[in-house]
Structure 1
Amino acid sequence: MRAVAGKVLAAEIVSFLNGTITGQGKSKFGVQFGAYATFSSFFGLADLPVTNPDFYGMTDYASSMAFELVTNASTSPFPAASDISVRFLFHNGTTNSSSPPVAYPLFGTGNELTPWNDFVTSMDKFSIGNTQAWCTACGNSTGTCAAYAPASSSGSSGSSVQNKAKSGNGLSPAVNGVIGAMVTLAVVLGLEALVLLVGGLRVVSKKTLAAGAVTAETISGGKAA
């Protein structure tokens, strides 16, 4: 599924910023490194191309985006969540003193500052914050995701496996195996009988062979005398 990288990133952004607020500023700075596709994925989800068509393009090497928590309220004590807003900044390529990051409006609102509660609500519309949500978004029901598969899916999967285990004649693999072994044995015995018949050979017991050998030796010995 497309945009999964951006959806996962969105959940991680909200989680960290929320930790900063609930921890009253104990976690002040967080860094994460990602791929170009993650940038593009998030840009589309946050409606940034509406603000600037350049967000349709691929980011340059060493590009960066930042999310700032800002407030006009007093910082002592720590401001309430309702007094906090989020500002998004982006710089395409390496940042330097002559080219700082630029603030852009999120979600097509046209406002550079997004109230915290509105920010969370908008991000939650597309974010993926746990394994179950990821499995659902990707349509995966195997491996780790098997634990989150709907009961109906599990049942249908089990029936499918059982149906595949049965052959077209309705017999189980074990029964088919026994029948196959018996047929193979019958074919082998039939070939042996054919060889004996065509070659004019016959099957005799070991006792008969031994008796024949003694008689031959006796006759041979008599001639020699």
Structure 2
Amino acid sequence: MADLKTITDTLIAGDDEALVNHVKAALDQGMEAGVILSDGLIAGMDVVGGRMETGEMFIPEVLMSAMAMGTAVEILKPLLSEDDNASVGKVVIGTVKGDLHDIGKNLVVMMMESAGFEVTDLGVDVEIDTFLNEIREKQPDIVGLSALLTTTMPMMKSTVEQITASGLRDGVKIMVGGAPVDQAFADEIGADAYAADAGSASKLAKAMLA
């Protein structure tokens, strides 16, 4: 007998093989795919995000949970209705021009997707114009800017300034993150939010759009 608590606990443990078996068993028992997704899987990733914030879970464990989530979602996708598939919101994210670091950003992308966001990942060394074009095309709710080098922090500031100068600022929330970045810097450059890690990023994103 597969129940939602078992699915959630198995996801948190990062056991993808067992998770797939539990999800299939739940479907066989007549549980709706949307309920498994929201109340089993997304609920589990919310716990993972919280534990990452408090230091109870570390990056390798979080990655295992996120990858298990991805595997389980693939099983559910064909069975989800349009309502179930409706994203929580749209996010465009990238590491700013001059910076080639992406491990933290990639983890944020995984956590955001696991939380139900539709994410466009622009990768690393992203030109300001690329951010502007993607904002115009995708019309995201949130733009995420990442930087790991102190030398690229000014590029984060320039990107925010250009988003504002292009008349796109009112339509999006801007979230920043990365090792050298803090709340004071986020306030200084006019960002809406600062996330210290991937767990808090997905929670913040949900709160901003609530």
TM-score range, shorter chain: under 0.3
TM-score (norm 2): 0.26
Q: Name the larger-Rg structure.
A: 1
